[in-house]
Amino acid sequence: MFRIALRMLAGDTGKYLALVLGLAFSTTLIVQQGSVFTGLMRRAATQVESVPQADIWVMDGATRYFDERRAIEDTAVQRVRGVDGVEWAEPIFFGMGTAQMPDRTFASVQIVGVDRAARLGLADRFEDGRPEAIAEPDAVYWDHLNLDIYKQVRTGTTLEINDRRARVVALASAPRIFLSTPTVYTTYQRALAYSPGTRKRLTFVLVKVKPGHDHGEVAARIAAATGLGAKTRETFFWDTVFFYLKNTGIGINFGLTVLLGFIVGAAVAGQTFFTFIMENSRHFAALKAMGLSNRTLVLMVLLQALAVGVLGWGLGVGAATLFGHNITDRSVVAFLLTPQLLAISFLGTLVTVLLAGGISVRRVVAVPPAVVFR
Partner 1 sequence: MTTTIVPSPLRTAVDVSGLRKGFSTGRTRIEVLRGVDLHARGGEILLLVGPSGCGKTTLLTLIAGLLDPDAGSVKLWGQALEALNAEEKTAFRKEQVGFVFQQFNLIPTLTIRENAAIPLLIRGLSQKQALDRAGAMLEKVGLGNRLTERPGKLSGGQQQRVAIARALVGDPKLLICDEPTASLDGETGAQVMEILRSNALQSERCTIVVTHDQRIFKYGDRIAQMRDGVVESMQDAPQSASVRAIAPAALG
Please report, as ranges, the residues that interact with partner 1 according to CB under 8 A.
1, 3-4, 7-12, 280, 282-283, 286-293, 296, 368-370, 372-374
User: Which residue, 12 or 128, has its beta carbon nearer to partner 1?
Assistant: 12
Residue 11 CB, nearest approach to partner 1 (Å) = 2
* Nearest CB to partner 1, comparing residues 5 and 228: 5
CB-CB contact of 205 with 115 (8 Å): no
Give the nearest distance from C-beta 283 to partner 1 in angstroms: 5
**In angstroms, what is the minimal distance from the CB of 292 to partner 1?**
5
- Min separation Cβ 295 and partner 1, Å: 9
What value, to the nearest 5°, has the Cα angle with vertex 18 and ends 16 and 24? 100
CA distances from 111 to 21, 184, 188, 276, 345 (A): 48, 5, 10, 61, 40
Handedness of CA 205, 206, 211, 215 (dihedral sign): positive
Asked if 98 and 123 count as a contact pair (C-beta separation under 8 A), the reply is no
Distance CA 154, CA 130 (A): 12
**52 vs 291, beta carbon nearer partner 1:** 291
Q: How far apart are CA 370 and CA 374, in angstroms?
A: 8
Strand stretches in the chain, DSSP E: 56-59, 86-100, 106-114, 126-129, 139-143, 158-161, 164-172, 183-187, 204-209, 229-232
Nearest approach in angstroms of CB 289 to partner 1 is 6
Residue 353 and residue 305 in contact, taking contact as beta carbons nearer than 8 Å: yes
Compare residues 4 and 322 and give the one whose CB is closer to partner 1. 4
Helix 250-279 and helix 339-366: axis angle, to 10°?
30
Taking a C-beta distance cutoff of 8 angstroms, is the pair 188, 115 a contact? Answer: yes
CA dist list (Å): 296 to 122, 291, 293, 341: 64, 10, 5, 33
In the complex with partner 1, which residue's Cβ is closer, 4 or 347?
Answer: 4
Nearer to partner 1, 147 or 298 (CB): 298
Measured from the CB atom, is 1 or 147 closer to partner 1? 1
CB of 10 to partner 1, least distance (A): 7
Q: Mapping DSSP to helix (H, G, I), strand (E, B) and coil, where does residue 234 land? A: helix
CB of 276 to partner 1, least distance (A): 11
Q: Closer to partner 1 at the Cβ: 148 or 373?
A: 373
Contact by Cβ (8 Å): 166, 133: no
Calculate the alpha carbon distances from 340 to 225, 258, 347 in Å.
Answer: 38, 15, 10
Give min distance, CB of 4 to partner 1, in A. Answer: 6
Distances (CA, A) of 40 to 175, 201, 336: 12, 30, 8
Q: Closer to partner 1 by CB, 287 or 320: give it.
A: 287
Q: At closest approach, how far in Å is the CB of 6 from partner 1?
A: 10
The count of other CB atoms within 10 Å of the CB of residue 343 is 10
